[in-house]
Structure 1
Amino acid sequence: MRMAVKFLLQIALLLAMPLGAAAAGKQAGSPMPTPAADGPRGSLVIIGGGLRPDNDAVWQRIVQLAGGKGARIAVFASAAADPAPVAAAIVDYLNRYGADAFQVPLAVKLADSDYRKAADDPLLADAVRGAGGVFFSGGDQARITQALVREDGSRSAVLDAVWEVYRKGGVVAGNSAGAAVMSTTMFYAPKTVFATLRGGVRDGEEIAPGLGFIGDDVFVDQHFLVRGRFARMIPAMLKKGYKFGLGIDENTAMVVDSRRRVEIVGSKGALLVDLSQATTDAASAGFNIANARISYLDNGDLYDLATHTFTPSVAKAGGRMQAHQALVADPVFSPDILGRNALVQLMENLMNNRRNEAIGIATSGRNTPLPELGFQFTLSKTRDSVGYASAAPQSYSILNMRLDIRPLDIGQSLRTQ
């Protein structure tokens, strides 16, 4: 098996080297975006997990950003429990969309392979360096950093090669666990979302260093809205001092160019969490936050991380929502704000309502410890709140809703009524 791994390394190098220079750029005639000062010239494709093989928009964008038809893309299944078949499937998908992808045999779980030696193998590093793009699979993000970061915390030769691809104009894509490593801090061994609200996060336990491709000012998370993970992002952001967080949903990608413009591509959307004006009350028992701002960015929307400006998709360009007296005025409420897509649904319902406030409740569940303890999430419209809507198919983009979270003793509340 060790001879087979060595053979794969040699083949990867031989195949990658002739096309390296061409694959690192964009297609002929396609202008390169102006990069941020001293920043990488490449792009990121941050996928929220559950990427379907038929998601043409995302797969095609990865291949395009890697150099177009025939682009060499290095596939890392380092996060996977069974890396070889996972990598083979991703290689097949990318090749169906025109790439010339190859598997990088570097993973903690790869049988009969020493991942420490592989991570500093010059042949493997050269193969990656000669590619126009890199793809990290899903699985466990802790395995990615374990495989690519040396025990002293420095970058391995292969990780340096990934960074070189990114700096020179290539694309770094990651799905699920591969998305989690994009920020300088990632969830490492997280508890449930509710338990994170109850107990917070600790360095080296629930959170740990990521690979930091997006920079040190934005926190990234994935499987975001279907699993209610927005509520675990906020404690992590507060712990590490982040002002901005981006959570991407399943089968959807955030494409971040060299000017740090974020485009939403795929079937759903992303949540932007802004804590730049948020406050907490340290004297109060339990997790709390006031004046957080959240925005839902939909397919086709653009958000500029440098200027913090938003541009709606073409389908919503003329669809800014206006106050309308015919809107309903029923109470806006969610009994399970951490449920599947519950937050976005609550935001949409509030935007289509004459009321200015919506309430969501989170509990640990009836048959769990401390079932009477929970949290209240209060969404409020502000003078900066804006909604955009498209007609067919109907979809929304919603900006700048205020979010407050406070502990709630449900048992005590019921007893006092």
Structure 2
Amino acid sequence: MKPKGRLIIIGGKEDKNGTDPEMQGDNKDFRPKEILELIVAQKDHRIEVITSATSEPASTRDTYRKSFEELGFTNFGFLDLSKDEVDDPECLDRVKNAKTIFFSGGDQCKICEILKSTKIADLIYNKYKDEDDFTVAGTSAGAMCLSSVMIDSAENGEAMLGNDIELVEGLGFLNCVIDTHFVHRGRFGRLAHAVIIHPELLGLGLGEDTALIIEEGHLATCKGSGMAVVISARALKRTNVNDVENGAPVFAEN
């Protein structure tokens, strides 16, 4: 069954203040706060920002509070969940009443360690599946954790080397592998490596200040000032990825 809700996956560094000269210079179509505007249908809809991934939740709260207020959003809160309180009844009620759950950036593994196999994760997923006015959004690490297979750690570089990437189970909202800061941090190699290991999955590489809005689980629209790259290994015919030695080059060909 197709999910009724929306996913918004963001490549990180989404414009929050409308005054980024680098973005304005790189893209004549740059529009301030274009991506953050998309996360709710109406300005009074409830947004809950989950800041569990970041090591600086107070700073993250201040940044998004200022941006949301400038956008005219009037109904938002912040949840810095920990293992001890992730299934707290008050937290569950707040998620139940939200129209948007927004995962901030930070460490994607930390999000999964806290949320996986919890009531709150099940609640978010079921709302995404069943409610047509519900949105799950994430930026940077908060986007990466939404995939079925998640990049835990990997080397950034052009070469793909044996065992230089670690993949783990994500939260499973989208059957793919997601990577963020894709262009600025030179992450083509590591995403290609991930889909060579999992050729049944697409790889989605998102540039900064760039988002994919995914409806019905598969219909995607790209927004923002950067690019989205899709990598497929479904036509792969030969690779040594399964038996390559540590540190040796990985090859793949169609």
State the TM-score, normalized to the length of structure 2.
0.84
1:172 aligns with 2:133: no
Alignment of 1:7-406 (within 5 A): 38-53=1-16, 54=18, 55-64=32-41, 68-99=42-73, 100-106=75-81, 115-149=82-116, 154=117, 156-167=118-129, 168-169=131-132, 170-194=134-158, 197-201=160-164, 206-214=166-174, 216=175, 218-258=176-216, 260-282=218-240, 286-291=249-254
Q: Encode CA deviations 1:290-344: one digit per residue, 9 max, x unaligned.
A: 23xxxxxxxxxxxxxxxxxxxxxxxxxxxxxxxxxxxxxxxxxxxxxxxxxxxxx
8 Å contact kept, 1:125–1:158: yes
State which drifts further: 162-171 or 121-130: 162-171
Shift of 1:192: 3.0
Deviations 1:211-232 (A, max 9, x none): 1111x2x221111122221111
Distance in 1 of aligned mates of 2:15 and 2:4: 28
Instruction: Kindly state the Cα deviation for residue 259 of structure 1 after the two structures are TM-superposed.
Output: 5.1
SS of the aligned residue for 2:230 comes to strand
Higher RCO structure (Cα 8 Å, ≥6 apart): 2
The CA deviation at 1:117 is 2.2
Q: Structure 2 CA distance, aligned partners of 1:164 and 1:126?
A: 14
Looking at structure 2, the residues matched to 258 and 235 of structure 1 have their Cα atoms a distance apart, in angstroms, of 28
Residues 206 and 229 in structure 2, CA contact (< 8 A), matched pair in contact too = yes
* Rounded Cα–Cα distance in structure 2 between residues aligned with 1:243 and 1:184: 9
Deviation at 1:43, TM superposition (A): 0.6
* Distance in structure 2 (CA, Å) of the matches to 1:160 and 1:87: 25
Q: Distance in 2 between matches of 1:83 and 1:56?
A: 21
Are the aligned partners of 1:119 and 1:158 in contact in 2 as well (CA < 8 Å)? yes
Q: Which residue of 2 aligns with 1:326?
A: none
Query: In structure 1, how many angstroms separate the alpha carbons of the residues matched to 2:38 and 2:156?
Result: 33
> Partners in 1 of 2:68 and 2:40 — Cα distance?
7
Aligned equivalents of 2:114 and 2:86: distance in 1? 7
- Alpha-carbon distance, 1:286 to partner: 2.9
Structure 1 position 158, deviation (Å)? 1.8
Which protein shows a greater Rg?
Answer: 1
Distance 1:199 1:281 in 2: 12
- How far did 1:289 drift? 1.3
Deviations 1:21-42 (A, max 9, x none): xxxxxxxxxxxxxxxxx23211
Query: Percent of counterpart pairs with the same letter?
Result: 31
1:63–1:98 CA contact under 8 A, matched in 2: no
Distance in 2 (CA, whole Å) between partners of 1:237 and 1:199 is: 14
Question: Quick one: distance in 1 between partners of 2:239 and 2:123?
Answer: 45
Task: Indicate the RMSD between aligned Cα atoms, in angstroms.
Answer: 2.0
Cα deviation digits, residues 151-191 of structure 1 (max 9, x gap): xxx2x122122223312131111110011112111111223
Question: What is the CA-CA distance between 1:121 and the residue it aligns to?
Answer: 0.6
Q: Distance in 1 between matches of 2:218 and 2:177?
A: 14
Write the letter of the residue equivalent to 1:103. F
CA distance in 1 between counterparts of 2:167 and 2:217 reads: 28
Structure 1 position 76, deviation (Å)? 0.7
CA contact (8 A) 1:77 1:83 kept: yes
Q: Distance in 2 between the 1:148 and 1:281 partners?
A: 35
* Displacement after TM superposition at 1:256 (Å): 0.6
- Aligned equivalent of 2:23: none
Q: Unaligned 5+ residue runs, structure 2?
A: 19-31
Deviation at 1:252, TM superposition (A): 0.8
Q: Structure 1: 5+ residue runs without aligned partners?
A: 1-37, 107-114, 292-417
1:87–1:137 contact (8 Å) kept in structure 2: no
Preserved contact between residue 120 and residue 158 of structure 1 (Cα < 8 Å): yes
8 A contact 1:219–1:242 mirrored in 2: no
How far off its partner does 1:96 sit? 2.6
The CA deviation at 1:130 is 0.5
Secondary structure, counterpart of 2:153 in structure 1: coil
TM-score by length of 1: 0.53
Worse-matched range after superposition: 48-57 or 175-184 = 48-57
Q: Is the 8 A contact 2:210 2:223 kept in 1?
A: yes
Distance 1:261 1:241 in 2: 20
Q: CA deviation at 1:124?
A: 0.5
